[in-house]
A and B are shown apart, each in its own frame.
Chain A
Amino acid sequence: MNEFGTRVQELIPRLRRYARALTGERSAADDLVQDTLERAWNKLHLWRDGSDLRAWLFTIMHNVHVNQVRSRAASATVSLDDEAADAPVRPTQADMLEVRDIDSALGRLSVHQREVLLLVGLERMSYDETARTLGIPIGTVMSRLSRGRERLRAALAGEPGPANLKVVK
Chain B
Amino acid sequence: MNKPRVTEADLHSYLDGELPAPERARVEALLADDSDAEQRLGEYRQVVDLLRERYDGVLDEPVPQRLIAVTSTAKRRAFPVLLRCAAVFAWVALGGLAGWHLHGVQTREDRGAAPVWAHRAAVAHIVYSPEVRHPVEVGADQEAHLVAWLSKRLGTQLRIPQLGAVGYSLVGGRLLPGERGPAAQFMYQDAQGQRLTLYVRTNREQNKETAFRFAQDGNVRIFYWVDRSQGLALSGEIDKEQLLRVATAVYQQLNP
Contacts and interface: CB of A to CB of B under 8 A. Distances in A.
A13 B16 CA distance: 23
Given A12-B67, A146-B12, A102 B50 contact: yes
B67 A1 contact: no
Interface of chain B, main secondary structure: helix
A120 B52 CA distance: 11
A13 B63 contact: yes
B76 interface: yes
B139 to A, nearest CB: 12
Contacts of B111: none
B1 to A, nearest CB: 15
Contacts of B13: 127, 142
A5 B77 contact: yes
B54 A5 contact: no
A70 interface: no
Interface residues of A, number: 44
Given A5-B72, A146-B8, A42 B132 contact: no
Contacts of B56: 17, 122
Contacts of B53: 99
A21 B68 contact: no
Contact of A1 (B9, B18, B74): B74
A162 to B, nearest CB: 16
B70 A34 contact: yes
Contact of B70 (A37, A122, A146): A37
A149 B44 contact: yes
A127 B16 contact: yes
A37 B71 contact: yes
A102 B48 contact: no
B12 A142 contact: yes
Nearest to A35: B132
B52 A122 contact: yes
A38 B18 contact: no
Interface string B41-61: 001101110111111101111
Contact of B48 (A31, A121, A126, A157): A121
A17 B51 contact: no
Contact of B193 (A13, A30, A106, A157): A30
A111 interface: no
A44 B71 CA distance: 11
Contacts of A117: 51
A26 B62 CA distance: 13
Given A16-B58, A16-B61, A42 B9 contact: no
Interface string B15-29: 010100000000000
B74 A122 contact: no
Contact of A8 (B71, B74, B78): B71
B71 A5 contact: yes
Contacts of B80: 38, 41-42
21 contacts: A8-B71, A9-B63, A16-B59, A20-B55, A21-B51, A30-B67, A30-B192, A30-B193, A41-B76, A41-B80, A42-B81, A102-B50, A102-B51, A102-B54, A121-B51, A122-B51, A122-B55, A142-B9, A149-B12, A149-B48, A157-B43
